[in-house]
């Protein structure tokens, strides 16, 4: 039993990813308005019910999954790549460049992360691309700090001295001998970043800074649904459960990865 339980978080995430990708080909009608169904609760006959405009909740939920996952993975990848490159080079070269970069990250870390993303998204104007930009501007800093700290630990290792003595170029050293050693903590961090980003995207969309109607995101569904709490609580409960399930799955997956890869918390 227990060994099967361990697959649960991974499978749950996989299911959401498959649903989000499959939604590209499924015959969804998230913008179809059926006035006779307005605010209907979920039943066997009408799936997950209908929203305040009479649009099917299930279709919008799947569309929202696509938005959430696409934004989260895109921002995670951008932040991971930019942060790692900056952090690794900063530690590798050292000196003034390193000092300067660390002071810059200090300044970014002096903001509560979501506040900076919020202000930036607000200034750039609503839209999903702007959300990606805003979250990436904030997101790279954590990865840069982590990558730098890791490189400082492995920089003086003997296998690197050996590689250098054998005439490996600087880039070969970094790519072949440094990156594999620092990958594990970065992967764990990236996993937790995904759940944080899913919540952040939903939060920005909740505040009206993310996707614009008629497009759908779990955050905007929650925001619209909150106005009909009394008559149609399913409009809040369903996207809320979706959000919770995926964040829970990704966090548990992160815990498992951390134990498996033996990374210190």
Partner 1 sequence: MARIILNRLLGTLFVLFGVSLLVFLLIHLVPGDPVEVILGEQAQAADRESLRLALGLDKPMAVQWWEYMRGLLHADLGHSLYMHRPVSELLIERLPASAELALLSLLIAVMLALPLGLIAATQRGSGWDWLSSGFSLLGIAIPNFVFGPLLILLFSIWLGWLPVSGREQGLSIVLPALTLGTAMAAILSRMLRSSLLEVLGEDFVRSARARGLHPLRVLFRHALNNAMLPLITLLGLQLGGLLAGAVITETVFDWPGIGRLTIEAIQRRDYPLLQGCVLFISLVYVLINLLTDMTYRFIDPRIRVST
Residues that bind partner 1 (CB under 8 A): 103-104, 106-108, 110-112, 114-116, 118-120, 122-125, 195, 199, 202-203, 206-209, 219, 222-223, 225-226, 229-230, 233, 236-237, 239-240, 243-244, 247-248, 251-252, 265
List phi, psi (to 5°) of 50.
-130, 155
Q: Tell me whether residue 151 or residue 246 sits nearer to partner 1 (CB atom).
A: 246
Cis peptide before 214 (omega within 30 of 0): yes
Residue number, 87 or 225, with CB nearest to partner 1: 225
CB of 160 to partner 1, least distance (A): 29
Q: By C-beta, is 47 or 122 nearer to partner 1?
A: 122
Least Å from the CB of residue 200 to partner 1: 9
Structure-derived torsion over alpha carbons of residues 166, 170, 176, 178, reported in degrees to the nearest 10: 110
**Minimum Å distance from CB 44 to partner 1?**
24
Q: How far apart are the C-alpha atoms of 221 and 42, rounded to whole Å? A: 15
CB of 226 to partner 1, least distance (A): 5
Return the bridge partners of 50, or none: 56
Instruction: Tell me the closest approach of the beta carbon of residue 194 to partner 1, in angstroms.
Output: 13
* Residue among 234, 236, 241, 85 nearest 171 (CA): 85
Q: Contact, 145 vs 80, CB < 8 A?
A: no
Nearest-approach distance from CB 73 to partner 1, in angstroms: 18
Task: State both tokens at 167.
Answer: 């005439």
Measured distance CA(263)–CA(184) in Å, rounded: 7
Task: Rank residues 106 and 157 by Cβ distance to partner 1 and give the closer one.
Answer: 106
Q: Considering beta carbons, is residue 54 or 203 the nearer one to partner 1?
A: 203
- Name the one residue in this structure whose structure tokens are 């995207």: 201
The region that residue 22 occupies, defined by phi over 0 for left and psi between -120 and 50 for alpha, beta otherwise, is alpha
Backbone angles phi, psi at 27, to 5 degrees: -80, 75
**Euclidean distance between CA atoms 159 and 178, whole angstroms:** 10
For residues 5 and 265, which CB has a smaller minimum distance to partner 1 in the complex? 265
In whole angstroms, the minimum distance from the beta carbon of 210 to partner 1 comes to: 12
Q: Return the structure tokens found at 45.
A: 């006959």
Cβ-based nearer residue to partner 1, 35 or 265: 265
């Amino acid at each position: 039993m227990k060994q099967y339980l361990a697959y649960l978080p991974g499978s749950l995430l996989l299911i959401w990813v498959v649903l989000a990708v499959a939604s590209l080909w499924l015959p969804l009608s998230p913008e179809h308005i059926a006035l006779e169904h307005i605010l209907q609760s979920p039943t066997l006959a009408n799936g997950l019910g209908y929203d305040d405009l009479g649009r099917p909740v299930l279709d919008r939920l799947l569309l929202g999954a696509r938005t959430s996952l696409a934004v989260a993975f895109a921002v995670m990848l951008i932040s991971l790549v930019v942060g790692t490159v900056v952090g690794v080079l900063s530690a590798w070269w050292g000196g003034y460049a390193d000092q300067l970069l660390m002071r810059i990250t200090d300044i970014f870390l002096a903001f509560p992360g979501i506040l900076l993303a919020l202000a930036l998204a607000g200034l750039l104007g609503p839209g999903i691309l702007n959300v990606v930009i805003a979250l990436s501007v904030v997101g790279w800093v954590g990865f840069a700090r982590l990558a730098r700290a890791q490189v400082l630990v492995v920089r003086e290792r003997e296998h690197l001295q050996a590689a250098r003595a054998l005439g490996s170029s600087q880039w070969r050293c970094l790519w072949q001998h440094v990156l594999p050693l620092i990958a594990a903590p970065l992967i764990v961090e990236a996993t937790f970043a995904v759940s944080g980003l899913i919540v952040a995207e939903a939060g920005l969309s909740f505040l009206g800074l993310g996707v614009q109607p008629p497009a759908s995101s779990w955050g905007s569904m929650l925001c619209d649904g909150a106005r009909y709490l009394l008559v149609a609580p399913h409009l809040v409960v369903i996207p809320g459960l979706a959000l919770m399930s995926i964040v829970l799955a990704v966090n548990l997956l992160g815990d498992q990865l951390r134990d498996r890869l033996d990374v210190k918390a």
